[in-house]
Amino acid sequence: MKYLFDASALLNLVRRLGEESLEPLRGNCILTLTVYEVGNALWRETGLLKRLKASEAEEIMRAVMALTKFMEVIGPEDPVEILRASSEIRLTFYDAAYVVAALRANLTLVTDDEKLAAKIEEHQGMFLKEYKKKLRVIGSAELR
């Protein structure tokens, strides 16, 4: 089983496992936008919430960048399809990009975003109708 990690899961896994996060990440996928979302989350924790020092955020970003070299970076293929899914499911375009990419590539989505996971569960019938499959979703805590 191959995984698509969203930014929340990738960041939490790296924080929790540090260098040991390579094992569950190796050979799995992120989207082209994931690193930017991680950077935005770190900026938010540093600049707005004051939970991290800039040096700590930079260290985490360096770790993420090093680990993602062992992952497959995939791009959303059809922005119109993502926009349609975003409107139907009432998700941000970013979240819908993960949903569509996971469905199209037959990947399990790893997310720690509980609202996203709940929206996905709520719309499994639509995925079954549109994509002939349900989307499997797990949290990063379920991985090593």
pLDDT of residue 144: 76
Which tokens belong to 129? 């109708």
pLDDT in tens, the chain (144 residues): 999 999 999 999 999 999 899 999 999 999 999 999 999 999 999 999 999 999 999 999 999 999 999 999 999 889 999 999 999 999 999 999 999 999 999 999 999 999 999 999 999 999 999 999 999 999 999 997
Residue of 35, 34, 37, 57 lying closest to 46 (CA atoms): 57
Q: What percentage of the chain has pLDDT greater than the value 70?
A: 100
Q: Which of 82, 136, 71 is nearest to 110 (CA)?
A: 136
Query: 101: domain CATH number?
Result: 3.40.50.1010
Q: Which two tokens stand for residue 58?
A: 């930079």
Domain that holds residue 138: 1-144
Count of domains forming the chain: 1
Residue 52 CA to its chain's centroid (Å): 21
Residues facing 30 on adjacent strands: 73
Distance CA 102, CA 1 (A): 12
Cα separation, 142 vs 127, in Å, equals: 23
Burial of residue 1 (CB within 10 Å: 0-12, 13-18, 19+) is exposed
State pTM to two decimals.
Answer: 0.95
